[in-house]
Chain A
Amino acid sequence: MALSVQTLIEKIEITNLTPDLDTSKTVIENGYVSDLLSDVMGSAQENQIWITIMRHLNTIAVASMTGIPVIIFAKDIIPEQSVINKAREEGIILLTSPLTVFELAGKIYSLLKV
């Protein structure tokens, strides 16, 4: 099943860090979990949400190069403002949640796979 980012925000404890980007048009069909950036570039796909705790500027570059439309940070992680600004510039939605990577992956998986 495909899900809009907006639906995801409504169903899970999520704060949107880039509220000026349109979350209803961005649709995900799958997800990828990794904190190793080259692993993400080797394996993640365009239609996936990326779950990570890696908050550096490089994370945005990796999403941009790979075509990942949305990144969700676990454990309430919030990147620096400059990183958020870069994401907005690139049109990449940034979300954060108090849940752990495990819990987020489980919840998003069950929303997508039922």
Chain B
Amino acid sequence: MAEYIKVNPMYQDRIEEVFQTNINPEIVLEFEIHENDFVNSGKGSAELKVTIKRLGVDPAIMRKVAVAAYEAEINITAHSRGGVMTSNIFPDYVHIVFQDRGPGIEDLSKAMTPGFSTATDLVREMGFGAGLGLPNIERNSDIMKLDSAKNESTKLDVIIFFH
């Protein structure tokens, strides 16, 4: 498996903590994402947006979470066999895990390059395929970790702090 990780230097000291597995989130939201289902894709992000809005998260932060989550959800719909989105909400950050069922990404640095896209005609008809989704996710998240390889599943961790 190859890994791509980006960390906002402001939160460098929180990495170990957020990737610990024995911490319990206050709220967990889980959504199934289906291949090529552009009608339902986005529901997980919409629900997450509403939930953190209710928690009083700043609108600018809420927008970052919504955009990053929606791009990731669409990527699973457009490029994978489907997967699961799990939003773990903690008092001062959200950790969203996107786990799909393959076919994986062959070259992570290529995938991260603005403009690179393998989107099918169907996906392009839906208005996606500019090759800007992963760069948008990177820009809107404080910690982004992408793990994948050809013929493997893809796992994306998106962490956004509320303050």
Please list the residues of chain A having a beta carbon within 8 angstroms of any beta carbon in chain B.
Answer: 35-39, 41-42, 46, 54, 56-59, 61-62, 64-67
Contacts and interface: CB of A to CB of B under 8 A. Distances in A.
A61 B133 CA distance: 15
B136 A41 contact: yes
* Chain A contact residues: helix, strand, loop or mixed: helix
Given A36-B127, A38-B130, A57-B39, A66 B63 contact: yes
4 smallest CB-CB distances across A and B, nearest first, come from A38-B132, A36-B130, A65-B66, A37-B127
Contacts of B70: 41, 61-62, 65
Contacts of A41: 67, 70-71, 132, 136
Nearest to B45: A65
Nearest to B59: A67
A67 B53 CA distance: 13
B127 A58 contact: yes
A37 B127 CA distance: 5
B42 interface: yes
Nearest to A36: B130
B152 to A, nearest CB: 24
Contacts of B46: 61, 64
Chain B interface residue bracket vs A = 20 to 34
Contacts of A57: 38-39
Contact of B42 (A35, A38, A58): A58
Given A57-B38, A65-B45, A65-B49, A42 B127 contact: no
Interface in B122-163: 126-133, 135-136, 139
A35 B42 CA distance: 18
A61 B136 contact: no
B127 A66 contact: no
Given A42-B136, A56-B38, A57-B38, A37 B128 contact: yes
A96 B131 CA distance: 28
A76 B74 CA distance: 28
B128 A38 contact: yes
A103 B49 CA distance: 35
